[in-house]
Amino acid sequence: MIRQRFILLMATICVAINLCALPRYTMAYDIHLDTQSHYLYVNLNIMFDQPTTDTVTLEMPVWAPGYYMIMDFPKNVSDFKATTDGTTPLTWTKTSKNQWAITQQGRQLQVSYRVYAHEHSVAESRVDNRSAFIAPNGVFMYVKDDKEHRVTTTYHMPSGWNKASTGLKPVGANEGTERTFVAPDFDTLFDSPLLLGNHFTTYFSHEGHDYEFAIETPDGFSESGIIDDFKRMVSTTTRLIGHVPYDNYCVIHLGAGGGGLEHLNSQACYTSGSYRFASHDDYLRHLAFVTHEYFHLYNVKSIRPFELGPFDYSRECYTPLLWVSEGFTCYYECRLLMQAGIVDGDYLLREISSSIRTIEESEGHHHMSLRQSSYDIWLNFFNHSENVISYYDKGPILGLLFDIELRRLTNCQRGLDDLMRLLYNRYYLDLHRGFTEAEFWQAAAEVAGEELTTLRQYVDTTDDIDYDSILTPAGLALDRNTWSLYIINNKVSKEQQKLRKEIIGK
């Protein structure tokens, strides 16, 4: 820990020395859309407090938090130009794949470039004649080593478009085709995607906070009942954590496609293109997806591993704890719906059974530990080969096992909810940082009253899980022919009944 703090101190000193070379400045972006050729035309104006002849290096991210693979966003950048007044060119050169070094002259620096935007991805931008989805990581540049700088962005939408949906609050008149937003820093800007166009929107307040649903393909939305279920889920989550870290929250649902991505006070997800679900199970899958991305605003944005922020957007960000951030969130997407009264305990058992089946029937669980799957996600984001496993599958299994063990060891006085609250309050609210791997296991031991040696073994190694030893005290069992969890009905003690009720409500 001392060495870690020393490294952070020296990095801060180096950044401060580098920034002292530049006078103070303001940053403002103007963005125009080419809906036919799928381009964003980006204009950046930097105004210094005093003239400078120093080199200004601009940097663009190469990945997006939550999407753990190198995207190389600068590959979409072309026609880069730098001038002092819009006409007088400045000398510039690329010093790496995502850095542009400009020899500045005077007080004003104007930069322009265009970004090709034609990807159907929650981590990449798309512009067409119907709408535009803006993923900021692949659009905006910041002055190297100064991500903490305030920035203004103004979007000039095509004629006839009148909506801009995002977690950021607009500045000035919210009329016509122009929208302006201010972000206190680039971490916030990069965490605030936008949907521009004439999409369906609905607004409501709930328990003192404002919400927006922005839907590209709203067929059946009004009849689906999803807003009522969303409110119930939000209320349940608020009771669990005891705190809400946002003023407003924006749900961006895109058209037919795949994938979703969590953000600080918003989420962006592709849908099936309609809310007229073929079955109630299909509806529940969608609602669980929304719940998953919502709970991430706590578990990964607030309750986060130490390595996940502040970010270095120029390279991979390795952490061995994504099984907590993603895996526990998979567990909670089921548990929150159960606690909200939207599903029952059978739903939770069925979903965790599916995860157990996927893991136990794959060759990968003999070769890759849960911890390793977290660390090596940068190699395996879309790798489904037989020598790997996913923390999306084994993580929720450990979520259930953690919940049972914590409750068993404390006679149902504490559970996984208490561990999540402890991490949130101690590291996010009090210390304003993430937790290390050692601190996670220390916090778990604090809740449990002892070291969780066996559970750590199941995380750190490929050893087979002894399901019976953990499930039986909770009045549950596992059918190894189908890898399905079920309730033990015969000869169950009062202690087993009590623990089972805490886990599945019956």
Element (H, E) at 202: strand 200-206
Spatial distance between the Cα atoms of 298 and 237, rounded to a whole number of angstroms: 9
Q: What pLDDT was estimated at residue 384?
A: 84
Distance of CA 7 to the CA centre of its chain: 27
- Decide if 113 contacts 40 (C-beta within 8 A): no
- Under the phi-then-psi rule, with left for phi > 0, alpha for psi from -120 to 50, and beta for the rest, what region is 475? left
Residues 10-35: pLDDT tens digits? 444 444 444 446 889 999 999 999 99
Q: Which of 190, 202, 298 has the alpha carbon at shortest distance from 244?
A: 298
Spatial distance between the Cα atoms of 288 and 280, rounded to a whole number of angstroms: 12
Those residues whose C-beta lies under 8 Å from the C-beta of residue 219, and which sit 6 or more positions away, are 273, 274, 275, 276
Element (H, E) at 270: strand 266-271
Q: Which of 292, 372, 371 has the alpha carbon at shortest distance from 332?
A: 292
Q: What pLDDT was estimated at residue 172?
A: 84
Q: What are phi and psi of 409, to 5 degrees?
A: -70, -20
Residue 350's SS3 state is helix
- Decide if 35 contacts 132 (C-beta within 8 A): yes
Could you count the other beta carbons within 10 Å of the beta carbon of residue 324?
30
Domain architecture of the chain: domains with CATH: 22-198 (2.60.40.3650), 216-297 (no CATH), 299-324+331-506 (1.10.390.10)
Residues 80-106: pLDDT tens digits? 999 998 789 999 999 999 999 999 999
Ordered strands of the 39-52 beta sheet: 77-83, 106-116, 39-52, 25-34, 151-156, 178-183, 170-171
Q: What pLDDT was estimated at residue 21?
A: 67
Could you count the other beta carbons within 10 Å of the beta carbon of residue 414?
18
Distance of CA 184 to the CA centre of its chain: 19
Average predicted confidence (pLDDT) for the chain: 95
Residues lower than pLDDT 70 in the chain: 1-21
Could you count the other beta carbons within 10 Å of the beta carbon of residue 94?
11
Beta strands in 74-172 (DSSP E): 77-83, 92-96, 99-103, 106-116, 126-127, 131-134, 142-143, 151-156, 163-166, 170-171
pTM summary value: 0.94
Q: What pLDDT was estimated at residue 383?
A: 87
Residue 4 CA neighbour count, 13 Å, CB half: 5
Q: What pLDDT was estimated at residue 3?
A: 46
